[in-house]
Amino acid sequence: MGLGWTQPPGLFHMRQIFSPSRIAAFISFHLCVVCLNAQTDLDFCGSDLVRLSAMQNPAWQQEQLQHEQQIYHFYKNKSAGASNKAMAVVTLPVVVHIIHDNGAENIPDAQVLAGIQQLNEAFANSAYYDQGSGTNTMIQFCLAKRAPDGQLSSGITRDQNPLTQMTIELDDISLKDINRWPPTEYINIWLVREICRLNNGCSVAGYAYFPSSHGSPEDGIVMESKFLGSSAGNTGVLAHEMGHYLGLYHTFEGGCQNDDCLTDGDRVCDTPPDQSTLWVPCDQVVNTCSTDAQSGLPADEPDMILNFMDYTDFYCFNDFTAGQSDRMRWHIENVRQSLLESKLRSVVHHSRDRFFYRFGDRC
Q: Which residues are catalytic?
A: 241
Distances (CA, A) of 206 to 37, 135, 166, 251, 268: 15, 24, 12, 17, 23
Angle at 348 between CA 343 and CA 351, to 5 degrees: 135
Question: What residue type is 361 in one-letter code?
Answer: D
- DSSP for 109-149? HHHHHHHHHHHHHHHHT-GGG-SS------EEEEE-SB-TT
Cα 202 from Cα 169, distance rounded (Å): 12
- Strands 206-208 and 221-224, bridge-based pairing: antiparallel
Question: Does residue 53 sit in helix, strand or coil?
Answer: helix
In the Cβ-directed half-sphere of 258, how many Cα atoms lie within 13 Å?
A: 26
3-state secondary structure of 286: coil
* 33: CB partners within 8 A, 6+ apart: 1, 4
- Outline where the chain has alpha helix (H): 14-17, 20-37, 47-54, 58-79, 109-124, 168-178, 232-245, 322-334
